[in-house]
Chains A and B, each alone.
Chain A
Amino acid sequence: MSDIKKPNKRSFLYDAGTRSLVFQVVLLAIVLYVCYYLFSNLQANLDSRGISTGFSFLNEPAGFPILIHLISYTEADTYGRAFLVALINTCVISLLGIIFATIIGVIMGLSRLSRNWLVARLATTYIETLRNIPLLLQMFFWYFAVLAALPTPRHSYEFADFFLNKRGIYSPNPIIQEGFSIAVFGFMLSIVASIALIIWAKKRQTRTGLWFPAYWSSLGIIVVITLLAFAVAGFPLTFDLPHQTRFNIKGGMVLPPEFVAVLLALSTYTGAFIAEIVRAGILSVNWGQTEAARSLGLKDSLTQRLIVLPQALRVIIPPLTSQFLNLAKNSSLGAAIAYPELVSVVMGTTLNQTGQAIETIGLCMLVYGTLSLSISLFMNWYNKKMSLIER
């Protein structure tokens, strides 16, 4: 010990670790100070100009109805609740958009690789057309094309208790009666049973190599048990049927054309990009992998599922995440065609009525930030899960 020199004061100053720590602390302090300065200056100047600030407006009655609300909402509810309704609308359209875009993307990506000439050319045309036209134009196209094609409410297409017209698709609205929880319980039970079955089948396959059609069987289990529970409870469901009135179809459930147009535009547009990502991913897997799988005697479907896809996914997931993020943010364009999402309700109507520009825009930025970060976090987790585990 004694022959090792203790570091003197000079060497403490020249220590790389300490120095970088000091620099980082100083930088952080500067950034925080600049933020504080800007914020306090803004606050002071807003006050001096008599522009009111604060979030208290969220507790005041909003006074406007919203076209699509998945939670109960009336004009008498607060701006806070309107914000919540808009937030849910944004989340719903983003999630559905992501699901449909992925399905379209995978199908189109695979089709473009197809050996069938017609299928491959159709997929190519789809991809090149859709991804080269601005999304906003596509939204207007879907909205006004859908509207132009459909009849007026007085001349609705009728099928059983369904109506289709310019105001949307009307279907019977299920109303839950007493005893419905029994059916829900049956459904939950069947899900638990299916999961157990899948785990058991996987373990057995690892142990004995014997394969069991667990997915098809669990589908059967879910359908049968749920239906049985439903029957035992005495079919606890009635329907509110839509019917014609002076202006509109009343009652029932309605899927408005704004929702359909936004969903169509978002999923077909993003789907075109995803298709290219899927194609790139599959092409990135060396042909030798497929040949090796075949020489081991694997079927074509198994080769795809077990050999090609897991390797392709590693290439696909990172750019896919960007597409999902784009889609979530692009949902804000729905404001242009009356889909009541965040930008329309909060940065539109609420901002207009309260004049609180900084607060409402801040709220929206916070929501989009959080939404995008959540998607990002989830996809990063999935990416890690799918990445190559080297032993």
Chain B
Amino acid sequence: MKSNVGKILSTAAITAAISTGAVAGTLDDVKQKGFIQCGVSQGVPGFSNADNKGNWSGIDVDGCRAVAAAIFNDPSKVKFTPLSAKERFTALQSGEIDMLSRNTTWTYTRDVSLGLDFTAITFYDGQGFMVRKELGVKSAKDLDGATVCTQSGTTTELNMADFFRKNNMSYVPVIIQKADEAVAAYDSGRCDVFTTDKSGLAAWRTKLKNPSDNIILPETISKEPLGPVVRQGDEQWKDLVTWVLFAQVNAEEMGITSKNVAEIKKTTQDPSVRRLLGLDGDMGKDLGLSADWAYNVIAKVGNYGEEFDRNVGKDSPLDLPRGLNNLWNNGGIMYAPPVR
């Protein structure tokens, strides 16, 4: 099977790669080869999804494009590696990819024991449940005895176990390797419930036979902060990936968009905007980038709000509300440290 082969190969690869020793400077490697190798999902609409021509889109994909724009002033200098939930960390550990931008939940164990570093949070998500309307279930607390379909290799499995145990309810797990087939099993009636992150539920619901026959229950049973991951021990690369996102969030806060950034660059007198766009001081030197890297990111990819609306928000089929992902001064918790 494909993913099995991939897994074995990546284990072999990690053995080989780790045998060769020290962590090299990822940025230098990336500059030398001329592109970023970016690990994404095998297809989650809104996050990372390839169309029938092989063009990738999604908020995670834009995360990689933004980093490419910062380094090369060209968001297209990214190559994507689709990874299953199981393969993703091994691929990053072994150096097969430079950054993992694959709706990956930041958890304690993953951060401290895998030799990896989480950078910043691109999307605040939470796990939810989808059920068929005909069951008449109004709350996740009514799910005692239900059969639950989900994909293997994600935090979803553990959250689900914790939730049912905490509420003294029993359930029957049907754990399927790929999300497509897990959803198909739910759609065919094998399960009462399908569970994954709420953004994922909204995306998958659009693909069901009769989307309107299914509802997403109101409860959010977990915190799922999603964000890009890099290898531990390369602080420069970690700072770079982190600050590309922070720059996008700061840009939204300052009202800078891909459309007005060129105009603002010419006219602005605001010192913080001037710093961000690289007009004052050499903002890129310590990251190993040009001074106007943030300008390039905003001009080529856009600010965080644009990225959100385009991929998962009001301009996308998912039509997710901003919710927690709104700026801190706008009712959400998206907050970036200042550029100074």
Contact B18 A147 (CB under 8 A): no
| Interface residues in chain B, defined as those with a beta carbon under 8 Å from any beta carbon in chain A | 1, 4, 7-8, 11, 14-15, 18-19, 21, 23, 85-86, 89-90, 93, 109-110, 112-115, 135, 143, 145-147, 149, 152-155, 157-158, 161-162, 165, 171-178, 181-182, 184-185, 188-190, 192, 231-233
Nearest B residue to A38 via CB reads B19
Contact B175 A166 (CB under 8 A): no
Q: Does A245 sit within 8 A of B, measured CB to CB?
A: yes
Contact A340 B175 (CB under 8 A): yes
Q: Does A45 sit within 8 A of B, measured CB to CB?
A: yes
Contact A357 B189 (CB under 8 A): no
- Given A46-B18, A147-B188, A66 and B146 touching (CB < 8 A)? no
4 extra interface residue pairs, beta carbon distance < 8 Å, beyond A336-B181, A355-B110: A75-B161, A152-B189, A245-B145, A335-B177
Nearest B residue to A41 via CB reads B19
Please encode chain A, from 43 to 63, with 1 for each CB lying within 8 Å of some chain B CB and 0 for all others: 001100111100000000001
- Closest 4 CB pairs between A and B? A49-B115, A348-B152, A45-B18, A51-B115
Interfacial chain B residues near A352, Cβ < 8 Å: 85-86, 152-155, 157
Nearest B residue to A49 via CB reads B115
Bound form: Cα–Cα A166–B185 in Å = 10
Residue in A49, A332, A335, A343 whose beta carbon sits within 8 Å of that of B93 in the complex: A49
Contact A136 B1 (CB under 8 A): yes
**Shortest Cβ distance from residue B150 to the other chain A in the assembled complex, whole angstroms:** 10
Interfacial chain A residues near B233, Cβ < 8 Å: 49
Interfacial chain A residues near B184, Cβ < 8 Å: 144
Contact A140 B181 (CB under 8 A): yes
Contact B176 A337 (CB under 8 A): yes
Interfacial chain B residues near A358, Cβ < 8 Å: 11, 14-15
Residue in B23, B85, B135, B165 whose beta carbon sits within 8 Å of that of A247 in the complex: B135
**Shortest Cβ distance from residue B174 to the other chain A in the assembled complex, whole angstroms:** 5
Nearest B residue to A167 via CB reads B147
Q: Does A286 sit within 8 A of B, measured CB to CB?
A: no
Bound form: Cα–Cα A136–B135 in Å = 32
- Given A167-B190, A248-B172, A348-B152, A64 and B185 touching (CB < 8 A)? no
Nearest A residue to B232 via CB reads A50
Bound form: Cα–Cα A388–B259 in Å = 86
A-B contact pairs, 29 of them (CB 8 A): A42-B15, A42-B18, A42-B19, A45-B18, A45-B21, A66-B173, A67-B174, A136-B1, A152-B189, A166-B189, A247-B147, A247-B192, A248-B145, A250-B145, A257-B190, A258-B174, A332-B4, A333-B1, A337-B176, A338-B182, A344-B177, A347-B7, A349-B153, A351-B86, A351-B153, A352-B153, A355-B89, A355-B110, A357-B14
A: contact size bracket: 35 or more
Nearest B residue to A45 via CB reads B18
Please report whether the interface of chain A is mostly helix, strand, loop or mixed according to DSSP.
helix
Contact B152 A355 (CB under 8 A): no
Bound form: Cα–Cα A46–B23 in Å = 12
**Shortest Cβ distance from residue B159 to the other chain A in the assembled complex, whole angstroms:** 10
- Given A352-B86, A361-B7, A75 and B165 touching (CB < 8 A)? yes
Contact A347 B173 (CB under 8 A): no
Interfacial chain B residues near A344, Cβ < 8 Å: 152, 175, 177
Nearest A residue to B88 via CB reads A352
Interfacial chain A residues near B232, Cβ < 8 Å: 49-50
Contact B153 A348 (CB under 8 A): yes
Interfacial chain B residues near A340, Cβ < 8 Å: 175
Interface members, chain A 200-257 (any B CB < 8 Å)? 245-248, 250, 257
Which residue among B135, B147, B157, B175 has the maximum number of chain A CB atoms within 10 Å of its CB?
A: B175
Q: Does A353 sit within 8 A of B, measured CB to CB?
A: yes
Q: Does A148 sit within 8 A of B, measured CB to CB?
A: yes
Q: Does A65 sit within 8 A of B, measured CB to CB?
A: yes
Interfacial chain A residues near B86, Cβ < 8 Å: 347-348, 351-352
Residue in A45, A64, A143, A355 whose beta carbon sits within 8 Å of that of B173 in the complex: A64
Which residue among A143, A337, A352 has the maximum number of chain B CB atoms within 10 Å of its CB?
A: A352
Nearest B residue to A348 via CB reads B152
Residue in B14, B113, B171 whose beta carbon sits within 8 Å of that of A65 in the complex: B171
Contact A147 B190 (CB under 8 A): yes
Interfacial chain A residues near B90, Cβ < 8 Å: 357
**Shortest Cβ distance from residue A279 to the other chain B in the assembled complex, whole angstroms:** 30
Contact A348 B175 (CB under 8 A): yes
Please encode chain A, from 330 to 368, with 1 for each CB lying within 8 Å of some chain B CB and 0 for all others: 001101111010011001110111110110010000000
- Given A67-B173, A344-B175, A51 and B8 touching (CB < 8 A)? no
**Shortest Cβ distance from residue B145 to the other chain A in the assembled complex, whole angstroms:** 5
Which residue among A50, A66, A144, A338 has the maximum number of chain B CB atoms within 10 Å of its CB?
A: A338
Please encode chain A, from 280 to 293, with 1 for each CB lying within 8 Å of some chain B CB and 0 for all others: 00000000000000
Bound form: Cα–Cα A147–B187 in Å = 10
Nearest B residue to A351 via CB reads B86
